[in-house]
Amino acid sequence: MLQLDHLSKTYADGTRALSDINLTVRNGEIVALVGGSGCGKTTLLRLIAGLDQASIGAIRLDGEALSGPHPSVGIVFQEPRLLPWLSVADNIAFGLDHLNGAERKARVKHALEKIGLSEHAERWPRDLSGGQQQRVAIARAFVTNPKVLLLDEPFSALDAFTRASLHEHLLALWEETRPTVVLVTHDVQEAVTLADRAVVMQPKPGRIFDELPLTLSRPRDKTGLPFETSVRRVLTALDHSLNTPQQQPQRERDRQAAALWW
């Protein structure tokens, strides 16, 4: 269980990026953070990843406080961030240095098959398309078998077709080990396609506006009415979050309510 308790982040120049974030994510749950730009989604993800330190509050994973990059927490960035001097296979194996050669090879081979890039194993990242590179980045995060996987708008730079196929690759990988996933996105369709719950955030300072459970059965039919309804619900919440900056919604009951729901 990933718990965020009263998380706040104030930058050195006084900008309040996040204010009192409380969120509990069950094991194996996929949570989508949606919200307008500048509402601290990425900041929140960087805090969980341990790349930045929270000003106030704590992050706990199964009761253990996180205070820096943790072996059980993986992240996929907005850009692939592959190391250009390593082959595709070596990029995927980057986080597997602690394993012996055979185990490492087996995991990389499996991941390559899973993302459909087996025949590209020995190529340079520069020879791959953007979508292929992002698949490699996702595989690099998955092969370490993280308990929590953080995705920072990983599909935002891709076209719609590539994005849809990457959603499938991601869900296929997720099915295997069922890690907890926190996905930052500005694409409501994407949130409804992937997530069990959408957390709508509000800017200045970044805080949680509302939480919407997305209980559609998988695999999700993107043309069906329930899907449309969910998209509309999230959009409505997003609209409210941007139009009522002064309003203080159910922040206090967030945690309790979430606990009751799940």
Which one of 70-78, 108-116, 173-181, 241-249 is the stretch in contact with other proteins (CB under 8 A)?
70-78
83 binds other proteins (CB under 8 A): yes
Size of the site for other proteins (CB under 8 A): 22
Those residues with Cβ within 8 angstroms of residue 168's Cβ, 6 or more apart along the chain or in another chain: none
Going by C-alpha positions, the residue among 1, 73, 29, 52 that lies closest to residue 206 is 52
State in angstroms the smallest separation of the CB of 38 from other proteins.
20
For 50-129, where are the alpha helices, taking DSSP H only?
A: 88-92, 101-114
124 binds other proteins (CB under 8 A): yes
How far is the C-alpha of 146 from the C-alpha of 2, rounded, in Å? 12
How far is the C-alpha of 43 from the C-alpha of 53, rounded, in Å? 10
3-state percent breakdown (helix, strand, coil) of the chain, nearest 5: 40, 25, 35
Contacts of other proteins in 33-62 (CB under 8 A)? 49-51
Angle between helix 101-114 and helix 130-142 axes, rounded to 10 deg? 140
Lookup: tokens for 221: 């039919």
Candidates 74, 131, 203, 205; binder of other proteins (CB under 8 A) is 74
157 binds other proteins (CB under 8 A): no
Candidates 94, 121, 165, 213; binder of other proteins (CB under 8 A) is 94
State in angstroms the smallest separation of the CB of 50 from other proteins.
8
State in angstroms the smallest separation of the CB of 21 from other proteins.
21
79 binds other proteins (CB under 8 A): yes
Which one of 28-36, 79-87, 183-191, 229-237 is the stretch in contact with other proteins (CB under 8 A)?
79-87
Candidates 127, 159, 176, 228; binder of other proteins (CB under 8 A) is 127
77 binds other proteins (CB under 8 A): yes
Handedness of CA 213, 45, 173, 186 (dihedral sign): positive
Give the torsion through C-alpha atoms of 175, 180, 185, 191, to 10 deg: 50
State in angstroms the smallest separation of the CB of 140 from other proteins.
9
Which CB, 149 or 194, lies closer to other proteins? 149
Going by C-alpha positions, the residue among 193, 195, 87, 194 that lies closest to residue 136 is 87
Q: Which residues bind other proteins (CB under 8 A)?
A: 49-51, 68-71, 74-75, 77, 79, 81, 83-86, 94-95, 123-124, 126-127
